[in-house]
Amino acid sequence: MENTIFSLNNKLALITGGGSGIGFEIAKCFIEYGAKVIITGRREQALKDAVTELGSQSDYVVNDVTDLGKLPALVQHIEDTFGAIDILVNNAGVNMKKPALDVSDEDFYNIVHTNLNAVFSLTRECARRMIPRERGSIIMITSMAAYYGIDRVVAYGASKTGVEGMIKILASEFSPANVRINAIAPGFIETAMMKTAMNGDPDRIARAMRRTPMGRFGKPSEIGYAAVFLASEASSFITGTSIPVDGGNSIGF
Ligand code: NDP
């Protein structure tokens, strides 16, 4: 990749949940712009297949982000093996569609544990290393469910709102060390997660489409290129904020 302001040449990126969906496309876009990427996830075969497709600028580590005690060792292993992490993308996430009254304490805990607790722990471990080096870009993948009253996603919405709140506080603490932290809030993006959420229900699909002024669902690469922007020098004065990438959902429902 030629050296433009969007270049990620010589950068190392850690992308959680990079074996599929949005995380995989972020990895692809980062490589297109010159980065080396390390992807993580729980399913080794999915990671192997992804790395085969991504090529020599990629590698994987099997890791379950909910095992918080193992995250310091994950970061240590990656830095020992591949070098300093310049970019962290907290992409791994889980959703569950249920009316709030049917959501058990365990359901709620599990979603929040993956989407919020693990995001904080991994961010802290990476920031502990980025801050002394005075460089780093941390990107959270949140959701428009952080902003809007979308029905049947109480735990998911709460977890994503928590991440959106967290970036403002962390940005105020990390900014003096030139470590930036931002979010991308995707709208409806065509992935396995969205398929499960829609459950093939034509009414749900039509309703989601009506709420999207651009009249189509997003492609995972459209999140990928927004992530390139936030990871690169092109966004060097942007921190503590969230960019909706949603075909206009955020205009209002
Ligand atoms: P997918 O279900 O396609 O991918 C989710 C990824 O997260 C998988 O690679 C999965 O890998 C990984 N993951 C899940 N749990 C864990 C865990 N405990 N430890 C490590 N990795 C984990 O979903 P998307 O690509 O659609 O979602 C990616 C992100 O985008 C999520 O944070 C989601 O909330 C967000 N988002 C998606 C939207 C959409 O419309 N698709 C809209 C708004 C936000 P594995 O199973 O191997 O662990």
Name the packing angle between helices 220-231 and 21-32 (round to 10°): 50
Give the model's confidence band at 191: pLDDT under 50 very low, under 70 low, under 90 confident, else very high.
very high
- 186 pocket-lining for ligand 1 (C-beta < 6 Å): yes
Residue 1 in this model has a pLDDT that exceeds 80: no
CATH of 12-191+218-244, one of 3.40.50.1220, 3.40.50.1110, 1.20.1250.20, 3.40.50.720: 3.40.50.720
The reply to whether ligand 1 has any atom less than 6 angstroms from the CB of 191 is: yes
- Which neighbouring-strand residues pair with 218? 189
Position in ligand 1 atom list of the atom nearest CA 218: 40
- Report which ligand 1 atom has the smallest distance to the Cα of 46: 47
Overall average pLDDT of the 53-64 stretch: 98
CA distance 129 to 64: 21
Q: Ligand 1, atom 39: nearest CA belongs to which residue?
A: 189
Predicted local confidence at residue 3, as pLDDT: 81
Question: 16-25, 31-40, 56-65, 207-216: which has the minimum mean pLDDT?
Answer: 207-216
Instruction: Tell me the residue ranges of DSSP E strands in the chain.
Output: 12-16, 36-41, 58-62, 87-90, 136-141, 179-186, 242-245
Find out whether the beta carbon of 16 lies less than 6 Å from any atom of ligand 1: yes
| CA-based nearest residue to 253, from 201, 187, 199, 164 | 187
Edge-first strand listing for the sheet containing 136-141: 58-62, 36-41, 12-16, 87-90, 136-141, 179-186, 242-245
Helices 118-133, 71-82: axis angle to 10 degrees equals 40
96 close to 156: Cβ distance less than 8 angstroms: yes
CA 193 to ligand 1 centroid distance, Å = 7
Q: Which residues contact 109 (CB under 8 A, 6 or more apart)?
A: none
Of 33, 147, 156, 225, the catalytic one is 156
Q: What is the pLDDT of residue 10?
A: 98
Give yes or no for residue 65 CB within 6 A of ligand 1.
yes
Q: Which three-class secondary structure state does DSSP give residue 188? A: coil
Residue with tokens 């805990």: 109
Catalytic residue check, 156: yes
Show me where the domains of the chain are located: 12-191+218-244
- Rounded to the nearest integer, the mean pLDDT of the chain is 97
Q: How far is the CA of 4 from the centre of ligand 1 (A)?
A: 30
Which residue CA neighbors atom 44 of ligand 1 most closely? Answer: 143
114 within ligand 1 shell (Cβ under 6 A): yes
Q: Which atom of ligand 1 is nearest to the CA of 196?
A: 2
Does residue 253 register a pLDDT over 70?
A: no
Q: List pLDDT tens digits, range 79-111.
A: 999 999 999 999 999 999 999 999 999 999 999
